[in-house]
Structure 1
Amino acid sequence: MPRRSLGAAALLGVLAGCGTSAATPPSPAPAPAKDTARQIQAALADCMKGRGFTYVPFVAPPLEFSDEQKKAHNGDYAAMKAERSKQGFGVFYNLVHPRRPKDLDDPGANPNWEIRRDLSPAQQEAYDEAEQSCQSGAITKVTGKVVKSEEDRFAQINRLIDQTVQRELDGDPELVGLASTMADCLSGKGHRTTSAKPTAMNLWGWKLFTAQKDEIAKNDDIPDTGLPAGQYYEPTRMSPAEARRHLDREIKVALDDLECGKDFHAAYQPRFRQIEQRVSEQFGVTG
């Protein structure tokens, strides 16, 4: 299933295959992503101090994945089959098995949450404004990337990832051939895909069921106002039994997708993850 930042990811300005003039010195190796993230946090803390607020530099630990999850993320057939047999494309699964929010008092959580929580409402508002401004400045200072907010940061990452995978993967002859074969197989199973491009084949099932879920959310009795374009509240009036029926259908399609795209996913997923990582690191995002 696709991982969106989050996040999260973005475009890399790499000129593949281009030579370098002997008169041009090589570019310095980029700092490790964790070091970049720490530098951003240090700059953020200094800025917040200048605004009169306490801020503790904090780099969240990377998401932990089991060995089987890592294999699935990299296109391993057996691992993907085990995952999809339970979660499908990962759309309706969370309605059947809701995630429990992380307790803000968890000792492993960001210490700045508690610092902010102890402020008055007026101070919290001022803290939030200062943090957003300081974070944007810190990201630009360390990475050279101009961002307006955390949301803008991840929006840029996602756009850049999309541009990079379209440029690098949609034009790859091997992936184009594997995607076409996958599309023909899915058509034979009664599934309609609108494009046989590699990037489209990677996401077609997730997009199909996400559109269904969004449509359900739009038509419940909770107004969907004030949300960014293309985003809707989760369905709130769906019974566990109904959610399970949607998930069962999603699982069936996800397994058809895997059977038809066994070779495609094995070739596509590792390259996609590499792009996702290297683009995210440009913005100081780890994990």
Structure 2
Amino acid sequence: MTGYASAQQGASATGAEAEGRAPQNRRLGLEIRSVNSRFLDLSFRLPDDLRALEPTLRSLLTARLKRGKVEVRAAIENEDSNTLQDPPARLLQRLNTLQDSVKAWLPGAAPLSVADALRLCANANTSSHDWSEAVPALAEEALTALLSAREREGKRLAAMVLDRAKQLRALAQQAVPLVPQLVEQQRQRFMERWKEAMALTDGAILPEAARDRALTEATAFAIRIDVAEEITRLESHLDEIERLLKKGGEVGKRLDFLIQELHREANTLGSKSAALDLTRISVDMKVLIEQMREQVQNIE
């Protein structure tokens, strides 16, 4: 199911006071996005400082999620990023020493610019904090919010599926009285053909034999177009769908299977159709079932 959640946590840079600077506040932001998928597909976009925590995050998500294409994003930002901090003299001295060493081996190397120096000093400050305890706690918070959002969407999807199931039941009830009417109409048609045939044969064929043949054909027609079994199985599948949705839990894959069975019964009903009304009912059923299929794939 689709969902989105985020969480933030701040921290102060360690060692800032020792360098004679004001502590630099940083914020860790974590986002979890989830879209529809039949299976669980995890992807991570983490800064280098948090890359080592990916296995921890993966284990955390797989323990609580079963389906969906899930993307986890994390970023570390300076809350006072609009204000340039004075780089510490120790770091500038270290950069200068490193630059001299590089140029000794690579005389053609370009010197560091002011922007390069500021960026490298900022990265050095940022990497000084240990996020190993903060990241799992933050991920738990975001994941709980995500599951709440998915639960709300699940209730909405379940209500929609139940509404389509109700409409399918109504269509099935419309189909039930049509078959006996068709059988009776066909029986009358066979009997009329029998009477016409008897009038043309001038007694060459025994009336009883011709009448039995007409009734046999009418019976075969009734068996061929009977959809009672399909209607019964369709209603049984709808009962199971309603039971699963009311029960809750991880029902997505079972619902997928039941939707396939519903489509099978609607197809069979259409293939047995001997009247436009039954064909229309079959088509309307397939439309509703397809709408259910699209939403069921979103349910975990």
Greater percentage in helix:
2
Greater RCO, CA 8 A, separation 6+: 1
